[in-house]
Amino acid sequence: MDLNQRLHDLGAEKRQEALSDREQMERMKKAVQSKISHRMVNKRWMPMPVVLSLLLTCFGMWFILPSIHLDQKQLPSSTEAPTSEVSRLDTESPTLEKSKFLVLDQRFSFASDFVKWMQRYTDYEIKQVTDSPFANVFQSTDQAVLLETNKGTVHVVFFPNSGEAERVEIDEDFTVRGQITFTFTGTKLNEGAAPLHATGPTYQYSHNNLLILSSNSDFVTTFRSRFAEFDTYRSIFENFELNFSEYTYLNDLKLKKIKVTPEEIKQKPERAIFRLRSSWWANPRLKDNPFIPKVGDRTPGLFVRTGTYDDVLSIYAAADGTHHLFRLSWDHENWMWAPVEHKQKPGKTKQSSS
């Protein structure tokens, strides 16, 4: 065999080996990809029940254990035990959620009643109470606080005279883009206090001696609604010659958060309070129900006499202005709250349906 033929045959052999190597590499590549895909599918789906179980177990331990083992020394310094104003159910049921009021710095003692009212009548969670810059704005008062809540921040200014806050109006200037300024009319301001600056609109709500300011309009909507209900409840108590301060308001949404069973209520009757709802009248098991709501009627407010759990009132104002008062009692046989007494009187003013 000559040299040229030998070189030709050797080149052909090498090309065939190279081709075989490429084919083998392609086969290996496909095999590896197939195994990887198979493992990814298994890893993606097979362990999920196990992972979820572990997560839920860990979360359950984190969520449940502290509530069982925390003692008074471990509680945050911003809370305190219920005062005498809170009904007996808060002190006699240690395993149930308890009402806690923020402990304010002595500098903010003027805001104590409002903070308690806000915690009781609204669903806002107040995280912190600090200084507000509006304490330096008005000549007639230096009492103002900034409330940090789970829904944002809100400033509350406390004027010394009844109705004074309702004369105050905010005057905003949006003419310079990105540079919003505002001032107040209806009251005297400290020298150099205005104009004030903001990054967005400032919403205002005034009630009696309280001026409420926030960049979140939801605060205005909530406070307007809750103060209107609060004033209506007070007028109904006065109409029936009852002492408003002797009763504790029961927040419907907070009651719903605590679940109780018939067995628990049999052992501790005071826990029946957590089955109470402002819509008690809608229970289909009620016979001869004297309360049939109409368009424009106010939502009933629930109150329990302080220091008791079974002296419960449900009050509301009808659209025609009539005030209604129901005394409710826990029906052990039917496991529901039912009216045992109903009174009604003409109200002083007709209630708006808005």
Q: Pick the closest to residue 293 from 309, 314, 267, 275 (CA basis).
A: 314
pLDDT attached to residue 12: 57
pLDDT attached to residue 289: 67
pLDDT attached to residue 24: 52
**Pair 294, 326: CB distance under 8 Å:** no
Q: Residue 107 and residue 130: Cα distance in Å, rounded?
A: 10
Q: What share of the chain is helix, strand, coil (3-state, %, to 5)?
A: 40, 25, 35
pLDDT attached to residue 237: 94
Residues in CB range of 147: below 8 A, 6 or more apart: 115, 118, 126, 128, 129, 153, 154, 155, 156
Show the low-confidence residues of the chain (pLDDT under 70): 1-102, 284, 288-291, 349-354
Calculate the alpha carbon distances from 303 to 30, 162, 311, 312 in Å: 73, 26, 8, 6
Q: Residue 266 and residue 117: Cα distance in Å, rounded?
A: 32
The domain segmentation of the chain, as residue ranges, is 3-62, 106-215, 230-346
pLDDT attached to residue 213: 93
How does DSSP assign 251-265, residue by residue?
-HHHHHTS---HHHH
Residue in the structure block whose two tokens are 């009651």: 255
For 99-155, how does the pLDDT look when each residue is reduced to its tens digit (9 = 90+)?
456 677 788 899 999 998 898 888 888 999 999 999 999 999 999 999 999 999 999
Q: Residue 337 and residue 194: Cα distance in Å, rounded?
A: 55
pLDDT attached to residue 23: 56
pLDDT attached to residue 43: 40
Angle CA 37–40–44, to nearest 5: 140
Q: Residue 41 and residue 32: Cα distance in Å, rounded?
A: 14
For 199-216, how does the pLDDT look when each residue is reduced to its tens digit (9 = 90+)?
888 899 999 999 999 998
**Pair 264, 271: CB distance under 8 Å:** yes
pLDDT attached to residue 2: 53
pLDDT attached to residue 193: 83
